[in-house]
Amino acid sequence: MRTYSPEILSETSAVLKGYALRGSDEIARQGFQYWSSWGAGAKDGSRAAGSNAKEVVVNGQRISYTLSDLQPSTTYYYRTFVETASGTVYGEEQSFTTPTATAIDNVDASDEAPTVVAIYNLQGKRLTEPCQGINIIRYSDGTVKKVMKK
């Protein structure tokens, strides 16, 4: 059994990788056990897996699992496990730290005013220009406004 280095996808997700090969006993369960360095460790303060460690069951010889509920800027430890009638065997312990969360990326703050895409009356009839009464105007940025024309 082996535990491989992870693939960190973002500040909240990573892919765990491992290998589990059947020995003389039939495998009852297998997968990954993981925990953060600040909350799920042993009661003595060590980094060892405690009772709060989470497990994910994954079948197959080459196993991988995507964790998507991680906290940014946090160190996680994980290992593979195989449970048989003889007991539980663990693979090597690996660790990774999720990146720090950053500000919102790729915001287009253009100064262009949205343009009118369509105008409708209250009955849903499309108009070429606003009519007397209430008009529903849809803009190019996806916004919709109700406008009253006297």
Domains in the chain (CATH in brackets) are 2-97 (2.60.40.10), 116-149 (no CATH)
Q: pLDDT over 70 for what percent of the chain?
A: 85
Predicted local distance difference test score (pLDDT) of residue 45: 41
Q: What is the mean pLDDT of residues 65-75?
A: 92
Q: Rounded CA gap, 15 and 23, in Å? A: 26
Beta bridge partners of 35: 77
Q: What is the mean pLDDT of residues 33-49?
A: 61
**Which is higher by pLDDT, 79 or 21?**
79
Contact 119, 136 (CB under 8 A): yes
Which tokens is 130 given?
């606003």
Q: Whole-structure pTM over 0.75, yes or no?
A: no
Q: Rounded CA gap, 138 and 145, in Å? A: 7
In the DSSP assignment, the letter for residue 41 is B
Helices (H) and strands (E) in the chain, counts: 0, 12
Q: What is the mean pLDDT of residues 97-125?
A: 79
